[in-house]
Amino acid sequence: MRTFKVLEILWLIIGLVAIAMCSYSIAIGQQRDSIFFLVVTFMSGVMYAVRKRQRKKTEEFSNKQK
């Protein structure tokens, strides 16, 4: 279960870094590069949600087993 929590936090950090890089790309006038970072942000958000849901289901299952 600890692995799921670490992966969840990792995806959240990747999303935050991608948002920062997207903002930076827009600020320096490279809109084409910012699209890539928007896609990375979206994908990391999806993966964060999937991992969070997976962790919660695993915790519920393990609590039922006890």
What is the rounded CA–CA span in Å between residue 30 and residue 55?
A: 37
pLDDT of residue 18: 93
Q: Are 2 and 59 in contact (CB under 8 A)?
A: no
Positions in the chain short of pLDDT 50: none
Q: Which two tokens stand for residue 9?
A: 């936090």
Q: Indicate left, alpha or beta for 30 from its phi (over 0: left) and psi (-120 to 50: alpha).
A: beta
pLDDT of residue 49: 93
pTM score, whole prediction? 0.80
Count other Cβ atoms within 10 Å, centred on residue 14: 17
